[in-house]
Every structure is written in C-alpha cells, then in structure tokens.
Amino acid sequence: MLAAVLAGCSGFGGDVSLPANAPRVIGPDRDRDHVRLVRAFGGEGRAPQLQQLLTDVTNRLVMATDRPDEAFQVTILNSPVVNAFALPNGRLYVTRGSLALANDTSEVAAVLSHEIAHVTLRHASQRSELQARSALIERVAENVLNDAEEAAMAQNQARSTLASFSRAQELEADQTGVKVLARAGFDPFGAPRFLTSLGRSGTSSDGQTGDRLASHPSTNDRVSRALQAARRTELPNGETGRLAYLSALEGLSYGDDPADGVVKGRRFVHSRLGVAFEAPDGFSLENTSQAVLGSSADGDRRLLFDAADTPEGQSLEDVLRSTWTDTIEPGTLTTGTVNGLPVVTALSNGKEWTFRLSAVRIGSTTFRLIMATRGNRGDLESIFQQTLNSVRQVQPEEARRIRPLKLQIVVAQRGDTAQNLAARMPIDRPLERFLLINGLDRNASLKVGERYKIVVE
C-alpha cells in the first residue's frame, strides 16, 4: 500500500467580475469534484490581483479558440507543487508553484492555453471511452474466459495504448495551445520558455520512470516542438506582459504553507500540530495535503508521515492494527517512548517491500511514521530508528518563529549578481532556486534595471 502511495499531472506538468463579452462563469454548485480537488491541493490560493490577471488571460484565450462560446474558470491552488490541469467542464487549475515558475504573462498564458486545448479537443472524454473499452476487455478475459494470463496481457496492452494516446494528447495540446496563444496576441515563445523552466524544475517526465514517463513525452521533445510551432505562427513577437505579471505576482506565498507544515531540506516542522522530524541522509521530502512523503534517490527506501484519524481513547497498538491493511508480524509490536512521547512500533513483510511501522502520540493527536525498503535491505532498522528518534513535540515559541515565505520583486542595481541576490533568500539551495524561478542559466548576468524574483520572509 505504501509503495503505491509513494510512487508518484503536470499537464504543462473570491469571485471576480468578468467583462461583458466574456464566456459565462461556471457556477460553484456545478461540480462536486471541484470542491474535493481544491481541498486535496491545500485549498484555494488567495491572490486577488493575480486572480484577476489569470481570469483576463483566460477570457482572452478562450475568445481566440475555435469554441469561444464555451465556459472556463481558473482557480489558483494553494500548493507549491508545479502543476496545472483542467476538468472537462472547463474548470482550469494552476498551482502557486506554477505561478512562481512563470516569468511573464505569456508564459502563464501558455500554461492556460495548453489546458484549455485539452478541453476544447475533448481529450478527457476520448480517454474515458478508451479506458472503459479496455476495462471491458479485461473483465471478459478474466471472468468469462477464466484466463488470468490473458487478462494480464489485455491489461498490459490497454496500458500501452492509453500511454501512447496520452502522449499524443499532450503534443496535440501543445501545438493547439501555441496557435491559440499567438491568436490571442501573446508571445508564442512563452510556451517553450515555460517548458524549459518546467524541465529544470525536476517536475517534468525527463529521467523519471513509471506511469508518468509512459504517459508524457519528454520535455526536450516538447520544447523543440513548441519552438517550431512558435516560429510557424503569424505573430512571432507577441505581448510578453512581464511587468504586469511580476507586479501581480509580488507577495504571493512561496513554498509550503506553514499552516500545513514546512519542509526545509530533510526537516519537517508543523507549527499547528506541534510536531517535527528529520529524514535520513539522502532522502528528499515532499509535503502533501495528506502526508509527508519521502524517498531515497534510487527509490528503494521510502517513508510516510501522517496524522491518523483515530477514535478517542484508542490505544497506539490498535491504531497500527486498524490503519495498516497488511499483516503485522506476530510478536513485533513493541511499546516505548521517544523524546518523552509514547510510541508503538511493529514490522510488516510484504511481497516486494519490508515495512517498519510506528505510532506516536502528542497530546490528543496520533502520528504514524512508516518506513519501507524494497527487498530485504539491511539498513531498514537503522534508518527507521534514526528517523523515529528525531520525532519531537514543537513548543509554542518555536512554532511562532516559523514565518511564511513570499515572493518579492527587486530591481537589479549596478554590481548585483545572481549570487548576492540569492544570498538574501532564507531557503535551501538559494542560488539554484533563484536561477530556477527567474528562468536564468547558471552563468547568466543580471541586467541593471531589470526586475527579478527573490524569496523573503
């Protein structure tokens, strides 16, 4: 179960008044999936000036499509992950992470144009039909023919077909998106610029394995094709809108929302829940709305840390038994304390993964720390104990010192370099982050009088 959860779609990777000629707005009661989706991504991001800019850009793009009468509405998601996607009903979503990565209006317009293209090209409905047909074939093979081997073969063929279909959809949405971008008067080269930043951010499909690599073309291929599409447009030098975008972007929250916990390197601190822990060397952490996920570089060692929803008075032993669906090895449940906190640990052996489980209680909240290794690696016990021993209660004074980060726009002065501007950023790997969010190469020189993004408290 943990392996499935931790195995990690960025398609490109308040009410706002609309102009009279804008498409109609989707009513908030039209889509229950919208409410669940927003909740899963940490809620709706509140940035009125930026929201207005995105709404205006969306309306302008829609009027340049072949379906200008369709309804679209864009929502900012309060998530640092770089992601954007669309629902078939015209709801568009873009995360804070994507907005922080974009450097002008044409780049964010390229993201929205790509997602609008998925909707106008009816990709979701086509994919749903293909999935339904594949599922039917699998059921016939398994239930009617009672042939598990043929069922598995049908499932693999279906996955291959769906992956290929999805790659074709992404490339088609890229091409259509660039055309609409140019028709709307935006710089069509905003698309390859944003795709280049997406690749550098590590959220592209390049170098990854599994379903995401199977279903998305490589970022290098997308950049190359987007450049070709931009050169073919009739408006090669459209509007970039850099100043307007950076002005609207200033003050946007950056990184994790302190209310949902903060990851700093290998450390995680949650001021509201009053808990902290540190992952082992070589692990990277990702804070999601449901849990903190961690993985070693090779993916063979993983962790999950979350708050378990437990009935009042339930023992820690029962927490592990009731929240873990696999078998807990007999005789491995052990009680103890860590940093003065009650804890229970256990062992579970799966087919491919070995799991070390723990439940720790702080006040009335129970937390689970689960670590896993693929196969029978000998270091599971040591990294588990090391991580478990770092779980501690966060005191109110420390919690008050955790301040949210935000984007600030600065004007480069004579003598400014990427290094000295990055040095003002209180985050891990500041130079790398500065170059990334500003779309700069490592050896790039700053232009005097140009505006750049930095991260401040």
Provide the percentage of residues in the chain whose pLDDT is more than 70. Answer: 80
> What is the overall mean pLDDT for the chain?
82
Q: Tens digit of pLDDT for each residue in 15-57?
A: 222 233 333 344 444 567 788 778 877 789 889 999 999 999 9
SS3 (DSSP) at 223 = helix
Residue 368: CB partners within 8 Å, gap ≥ 6?
304, 305, 306, 307, 308, 319, 320, 323, 357, 358, 359, 360
**Domain covering 404-456 in this structure, CATH number:** 3.10.350
Top CATH class of 258-400 equals: alpha beta
Ordered by start, the domain boundaries in the chain are 9-249, 258-400, 404-456
Higher pLDDT, 426 or 213: 426
| Highest mean pLDDT (candidates 166-175, 253-262, 448-457) | 448-457
Whether 367 contacts 306, CB under 8 Å: yes
For residue 265, give the DSSP letter: T
- Structure confidence by residue, pLDDT tens digits, 330-386: 999 999 999 999 999 999 988 888 999 999 999 889 999 999 998 767 889 999 999
- pLDDT-derived band at 311, boundaries 50, 70, 90: confident
User: With bands split at pLDDT 50, 70 and 90, how would you rate the model's confidence at 128?
Assistant: low
Taking residues 231-239, what's their average pLDDT? 82
- The edge-to-edge listing of strands for the beta sheet with 84-86 is 73-77, 91-95, 84-86
Token pair of 93 as six digits: 């979503």
Q: Please tell me whether the overall predicted TM-score, pTM, comes out greater than 0.85 for this model.
A: no
147-162: pLDDT as tens digits:
545 555 555 555 444 4
Do 258-400 and 404-456 agree at the fold level? no
Residue 5's pLDDT band, with cuts at 50, 70 and 90, is very low
Q: Name the least confident of 100-104, 441-445, 446-450.
A: 441-445
Distance CA(267)–CA(245), nearest Å, equals 33
H helix or E strand, kind and range, residue 6: helix 2-6
pLDDT tens-digit map of 248-289? 999 999 988 777 788 888 889 998 888 999 999 999 888 876
Q: How far apart are CA 40 and CA 289, in angstroms?
A: 6
Distances (CA, A) of 304 to 261, 288, 355, 382: 14, 11, 11, 16
Three-state secondary structure call for residue 257: coil
Q: What is the DSSP pairing of strand 73-77 with strand 91-95?
A: parallel
Strands (E), 192-349: 253-254, 262-264, 267-270, 275-278, 283-287, 292-296, 301-308, 334-338, 341-349
Query: Looking at the predicted structure, is the pLDDT value of residue 123 above 80?
Result: no
Average pLDDT over residues 210-237: 74
**Residue 85 confidence class, pLDDT cut points 50, 70, 90:** confident
What is the predicted pLDDT for the residue at 207?
34
Closest alpha carbon to 206 in 412, 411, 402, 13? 13
Structure tokens at 410: 């600065």
Dist. CA 178–CA 231, nearest whole Å: 10
pLDDT score at 131: 52
